[in-house]
Structure 1
Amino acid sequence: MTPQFDAIIVGAGFGGMGAAIALRELGYERLSILDREDDLGGTWHVNHYPGLAVDIASVTYSYSFAPNPHWSRLFAPGAELKKYAEHIADTYDLRRSMRFGVSVQRADWDDREHHWTVTTDAGETLTGRFLVTATGFLSQPHTPDFPGIDTFAGTIIHTTRWDDAHDFTGERAAIIGTGATAVQLIPEIAARATALTVFQRTPIWVVPKIDFAIPPVVQRLFARVPRTQRAARSVNNAILEGIMVVGVLHFRQAKIVNKIAAAAARAHLRVSVRKRATRKALTPHYDFGCKRPTFSNKYFRTFNRPNTRLQTSSIERFESDAVITADGTRTPIDTLVLATGFNLWDTNFPALQIIGREGRDLGAWWREHRFQAYEGITIPRFPNLLSLNSPYSYSGLSYFTTIESQMAHMRRLLGELSRRGAATFEVTDDANSAFLDDVTEKLGDSVFYGGQCSTSRSYYFNQHGEAALLRPTSTSNSLHAASTFPVSDYQFS
């Protein structure tokens, strides 16, 4: 039976759109891009809380083959990323393949017909030759089940379901979490609320944000002479590579880089926060890079405001109008904001049930036999599956580096499939095991294993204590490998 589509892509964010662009280049036109939200853009559609912006300079946080010369700032606000996503969809004519409000629940490999059958929450079934999962790394929000939270009579807002109409003016607000989202949001709430209490479980490394408006003359230069923007991208890439890749992934060989980054963050904290006790509470007790660091010039200074209080005692329970912490403090609140992050390892890998050959359940297999994916994109017993958000796939430089590496892998793999006139591809067990052994060995040099990370509570680590998210190589290595991997690592049939 001929499947309905050449490929079914789950997710209409930048990953899904990048995959669609690569598939179109290879001649696959019958695409179905499904997304559970009501519009495209992934995280940049779902998130629209005050203060939202990229935490990687926009010249890097974008497709290299589709630069945007019109970023308003070095670190663009979230609304501009959403607009950029819409521009990509229009430029590459992707909207005609997109369907929204469709939540994919399950995908099953049909070994007789050589295609995937996808089932939605509405009971609809679709068939596709290829299945591409592009559900993102941070797509399954985590909401802690605090005792008594169901009795809280005030307003509760999760950052991924932000209420744009909510006004904090005159309110007693509280926010749980001090991750990258909270770092952006806390100064915005503090500027409006009568009182803000920040409940911190784990402090975060924050370094100064060298941000500024990009003058119109520079935007025009980028538009007229694209190589100038490529040069700016290269400079920023080199800086990020030094901090994020060398200092984190090559911690054993380059501890000095890691220590310099940590020292810069401590100095930033010291000059920003007046009270010594507050500085101490905001100082991380783990090495730089164990938990994703972030950039901000406003976050630390917010704790100098008379209306902002840092609470480090753990939450014991909720009452109808207050939070009670383990130290006995009762904090009356009107609105509670949950900046509690995402659940990667329990529900996000994968974000839907995927059943491959021999009835292998991908989620169960990962949890029982280690999280793994050859070159961060394919898995044994799962023919014609391209899993974009997989273990060991994320490049420490930028999500767009990850996407473009995977696009290159797709071009080489599917090009070979076409050249052979084959129907299916599947990575071999030997190739997958060799890759897993290689990344495991390389990660031994990283801060995750060579540094002090035990108190970081980082989403980089799965439930087995493995840092199985980042690819432990340089950005150039990941791009090179995606274009040169041995095609003999796959079986074609």
Structure 2
Amino acid sequence: MGSEKRTTIDTEVLIVGAGFSGLGMGIGLTREGQRDFIIVEKADEVGGTWRDNTYPGCACDIQSHMYSFSFEPNPGWTRLFSTQPEIWDYLRRTANKHNLRRHIHFGLEVTGARWDAGAARWLVRVHTGVEYRARYLVAGVGALHIPNIPALPGIERFEGETFHSARWNHEYPLAGKRVAVIGTGASAIQFVPEIAGRVAGLTLFQRSAPWVLPRPDHAVPLPVRLAFRLFPPLRRLYRAALYWLNESAVLGFNGHPRLLEVLERLGTRHLRNQVADPVLREKLTPRYRIGCKRLLGSNTYYPALARPNAEVVTAGIAEVREREIVDTDGVAHPVDAIIYGTGFHVTDAFEYLDIKGRDGADLARRWREEGIQTHLGITVAGFPNLFFLLGPNTGLGHNSVVFMIESQIRYALDAMAMAAEHGAETLEVRRTAQAAFNARIQRRLAKGVWSTGGCTNWYLDAKGVNRTIWPGFTWRYWLATRRVKPRDFELTVRREPSVDEPGAPSAPRSLTALPMEGR
């Protein structure tokens, strides 16, 4: 039996993922005149999170004009907070406008990546067996792509329908069914009101009550949309106003919890106004500081749970049977379908990575043993020419992550330009720079509401360390990533062997470090 020949595709830059991060990186490279790049996407269309999440009521919780690329404005957003179909359409139109589809290889799931020190290239495998060889590897997969499905006792016996909100089964008729919803996160807040009026019974299993604020959503009038289209400075001014309004929330999140009391009073009044039943209102009252978990906004969530066909269960789940769920109080709840609104693997999502860096270093193992550490959420010591977009500690609880993504794209492009300027094959962040960055942000995060607010949230890893959130103003992150600091990196150039060296000229070429004190 002959050995199977592996197909290898060469490219300068390989981007993984075609969501906001991957598309933005592709556009950034194009604008810099770089055409030698490939985007590999596991699905058959662009969009990432906004392609996958099609559950009823899916929408963004950041204002539309902020949750979009600054260089690709959309004056025609129809709502203050856009729905999933409109955001997905925006991403598809953006990909088409910038001719990115010619660079995208669809239907390819990355199974692993390995740094080849001799060639100074990343070797990236996909599930078909094809291998990509690239100088630079950009991971734009994001954090919200691996559904978190809890292991309920006895779930294998259940005879009804089960699915996660991110894998919504639109073929299953919910009308007239008894439906159990597990979880009360951002997705459940949106889809519960959409299905409550259709199902025969809705049983919501709640571990902890979320803070829910009024949602100031409304349609954007046509004259306003026309004004934004005809007078771009007006649209830019509006976006700037939204940005600074959102930024103001960070003061309360970072060591000034008393500033959050205003929001807590607003949330408490919102609950009191929408839920008359004191027993239900008690169940829905949060027991932790606002902001400790992701802030949620809805005008329809509480009324949906106040419906006669809805029930909120605060006891845990003891067992799932063929057609019912038994809670820890011993009460059996008949159900025909279970919908998981339990979010995604976030801090533990990195354990699914199979990335081997310099000297065979295993990224998932290192982060599991030492904790997730990067420099600015973008680069990792020991992993040359690798960039993360929306990586660890660059998530937000108050403003648009698209702003963060743009900052990271600019930083990665500047790093590549620095390497090209010095004729370097590789660039790698120094461990000292990485350690200093992590020490700095963890000191700030320790004082934040995410760590001190009295809740359990997905921002923290198994050891209670916040590996998700950026602990401060986003304009500070913009400043930190505006230009690469050469002293933070070690660059290496390829050195040809001298004719006087033993074994020349067949001796392998080597990489020599450059001193990096300036540009």
* TM-score interval, normalised by the smaller of the two chains: over 0.9
Match of 2:94 in 1: 88
Taking structure 1 as the reference length, the TM-score comes to: 0.95
Alignment-mate amino acid for residue 288 of structure 1: I
CA distances 1:290-333 after superposition (whole Å, capped 9, x unpaired): 11111100001112210111011111111111111111111111
Quick one: distance in 2 between partners of 1:261 and 1:354? 42
Matched, 1:447 2:449: yes
Match of 1:48 in 2: 54
Taking structure 2 as the reference length, the TM-score comes to: 0.91
Alignment-mate amino acid for residue 459 of structure 1: W
Match of 1:246 in 2: 251
| Alignment root-mean-square deviation, CA | 1.4
Q: Which has the higher contact order (CA 8 A, sep 6+)?
A: 1
Match of 1:488 in 2: 487
Written as runs of structure 1 = structure 2, the 5 A alignment for 1:310-389 is: 310-346=312-348, 348-349=349-350, 351-389=352-390
CA distances 1:423-451 after superposition (whole Å, capped 9, x unpaired): 111001111111111111222331134x3
Match of 1:398 in 2: 400
Quick one: distance in 2 between partners of 1:234 and 1:196? 41
CA distances 1:425-482 after superposition (whole Å, capped 9, x unpaired): 1001111111111111222331134x332xx220000011101211213111111111
Quick one: distance in 2 between partners of 1:285 and 1:197? 21
Written as runs of structure 1 = structure 2, the 5 A alignment for 1:97-176 is: 97-176=103-182
Deviation at 1:84, TM superposition (A): 0.5
Quick one: distance in 1 between partners of 2:156 and 2:127? 27
SS of structure 2 residue aligned to 1:128 = strand
Q: Is contact 1:408–1:479 with CA below 8 Å preserved after alignment? A: no
SS of structure 2 residue aligned to 1:415 = helix
SS of structure 1 residue aligned to 2:481 = helix
Match of 2:5 in 1: none
SS of structure 1 residue aligned to 2:174 = coil
Match of 1:272 in 2: 274
Quick one: distance in 2 between partners of 1:362 and 1:452? 31
Match of 2:440 in 1: 438
Deviation at 1:351, TM superposition (A): 4.4
Q: Is contact 1:196–1:308 with CA below 8 Å preserved after alignment? A: yes
Deviation at 1:3, TM superposition (A): 6.9
Change (3 A) 1:302 1:287: same
Quick one: distance in 1 between partners of 2:395 and 2:200? 40
Quick one: distance in 2 between partners of 1:130 and 1:438? 28
Quick one: distance in 1 between partners of 2:351 and 2:320? 32
Runs of 4+ in 1 over 6 A off after TM superposition: none
Query: Where does the alignment leave 5 or more consecutive residues of structure 1 unmatched?
Result: none
Quick one: distance in 2 between partners of 1:367 and 1:157? 29
Percent identity, please. 36
Query: Where does the alignment leave 5 or more consecutive residues of structure 2 unmatched?
Result: 1-7, 493-519
Quick one: distance in 2 between partners of 1:200 and 1:278? 12
Alignment-mate amino acid for residue 448 of structure 2: S
Match of 1:286 in 2: 288
Quick one: distance in 1 between partners of 2:43 and 2:159? 28
SS of structure 2 residue aligned to 1:88 = helix
Quick one: distance in 2 between partners of 1:160 and 1:24? 32
Match of 2:501 in 1: none
The one of 214, 237, 240 aligned to 2:220: 214
SS of structure 1 residue aligned to 2:380 = coil
Match of 1:468 in 2: 467
Task: Indicate the structure (1 or 2) with the bigger Cα radius of gyration.
Answer: 2
Quick one: distance in 2 between partners of 1:225 and 1:166? 46
Deviation at 1:127, TM superposition (A): 0.8
Q: Is contact 1:3–1:115 with CA below 8 Å preserved after alignment? A: no
Q: Is contact 2:377–2:391 with CA below 8 Å preserved after alignment? A: yes
Change (3 A) 1:424 1:27: farther
SS of structure 1 residue aligned to 2:482 = helix
Deviation at 1:24, TM superposition (A): 2.2
Match of 1:62 in 2: 68
Alignment-mate amino acid for residue 246 of structure 1: L
What is the total number of aligned residue pairs between the two structures? 484
Quick one: distance in 2 between partners of 1:211 and 1:393? 26
Alignment-mate amino acid for residue 206 of structure 2: Q
Q: Is contact 2:16–2:41 with CA below 8 Å preserved after alignment? A: yes
CA distances 1:361-386 after superposition (whole Å, capped 9, x unpaired): 11110111121110110000100000
Alignment-mate amino acid for residue 426 of structure 1: E
Quick one: distance in 2 between partners of 1:202 and 1:100? 40
Deviation at 1:485, TM superposition (A): 4.2
Q: Is contact 1:177–1:339 with CA below 8 Å preserved after alignment? A: yes
Quick one: distance in 2 between partners of 1:33 and 1:114? 20
Using the TM superposition, name which of 89-98 and 349-358 deviates more. 349-358
SS of structure 1 residue aligned to 2:115 = strand
Deviation at 1:40, TM superposition (A): 0.8
Alignment-mate amino acid for residue 473 of structure 1: G
